[in-house]
């Protein structure tokens, strides 16, 4: 798959370490510079458990339940990182699972009215637990292995305890249900 890249356009209104705020003909949007995109992984174990991660998100001041995901090309020396390699790395880093195979599913805008970043989804197959997961030294990730048959109730319980649920997770649930 040839990777479409959003081309930043407009006047830079402000910039931080990882983000730039741009104005293009009166439309303000955010660009995440120094990355090639974001990958998300739909990973279902052989015993039909969907792998999810929970982490505190400062922008929301709340824990969020999400699909395993991460940045592509953000590591020094790996600026040209392959999308599948990033997906494999992020899955292992966040969940502790290695995948025997990754299938490219699709890509699309992360938040089309807000940012220029594209997210690419992969399906992970042939999962094998290698370590506990939990992310890198800057992350504090909790790994959840949720039975697909109980996912709706489990997510309701997480919302009741104060977690937010990333809507992209429902894309993963829909795909996982279609694979059964």
Interatomic CA distance for residues 90 and 142, integer angstroms: 14
Does residue 135 register a pLDDT over 60?
yes
- Contact assessment for residue 51 and residue 133, using Cβ atoms and an 8 Å cutoff: no
User: In the 3-class helix/strand/coil scheme, how is the chain assigned residue by residue?
Assistant: CCCCCCCCCCEEEEECCCEEEEEECCEEEEEECCCCEEEEEEEECCCCEEEEEEEEECCCCEEEEECCEEEECCCCCCCCCCHHHHHHHHHHHHHCEEEEEEEEEEEEECCCCCECCEEEEEEEEEEEECCCCCCCCCCCCEEEEEEHHHHHHHHHHHHHCCCEECCHHHHHHHHHHHHC
pLDDT at 4: 52
Does residue 37 register a pLDDT over 60?
yes
Give the whole-number percent of the chain exceeding pLDDT 90. Answer: 74
pLDDT at 6: 57
The token pair at 66 is: 């999400």
What does the pLDDT look like over 71-106, one tens digit per residue? 997 777 777 889 999 999 999 999 999 999 999 999
Does residue 178 register a pLDDT over 90?
no
- Residue predicted with more confidence, 10 or 86: 86
This prediction's pTM? 0.91
State the number of CA atoms in the 13 A half-sphere of 67 facing the CB: 26
Fold of 36-179: Nucleoside Triphosphate Pyrophosphohydrolase (3.90.79)
- Residue 1 — pLDDT band, cuts 50, 70, 90? very low
Which residue, among 59, 4, 76, has the nearest Cα to 37 in the 3D structure? 4
Output the average pLDDT for the chain: 91
Interatomic CA distance for residues 115 and 20, integer angstroms: 10
What does the pLDDT look like over 144-175, one tens digit per residue? 999 999 999 999 999 999 999 999 999 999 99
Which residue, among 100, 82, 102, has the nearest Cα to 41 in the 3D structure? 102
């Amino acid at each position: 798959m040839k990777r479409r890249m959003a081309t930043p356009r407009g006047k830079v209104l402000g910039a931080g370490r990882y983000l730039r705020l741009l104005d293009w003909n009166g439309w303000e949007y955010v660009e995440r510079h120094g990355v090639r995109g974001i990958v998300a992984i739909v990973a279902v174990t052989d015993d039909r458990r969907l792998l999810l991660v929970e982490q505190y998100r400062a922008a929301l001041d709340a824990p969020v339940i999400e699909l395993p995901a991460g940045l592509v090309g953000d590591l020094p020396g790996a600026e040209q990182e392959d999308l599948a390699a990033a997906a494999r790395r992020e899955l292992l880093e966040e969940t502790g699972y290695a995948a025997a195979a990754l299938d490219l599913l699709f890509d699309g805008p992360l938040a089309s009215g807000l940012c220029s970043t594209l997210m690419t989804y992969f399906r992970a197959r042939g999962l094998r637990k290698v370590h506990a997961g939990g992310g890198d030294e800057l992350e504090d990730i909790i790994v959840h292995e949720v039975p697909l048959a109980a996912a709706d109730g489990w997510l309701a319980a997480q919302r009741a305890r104060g977690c937010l649920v990333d809507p992209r997770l429902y894309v993963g649930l829909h795909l996982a249900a279609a694979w059964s």
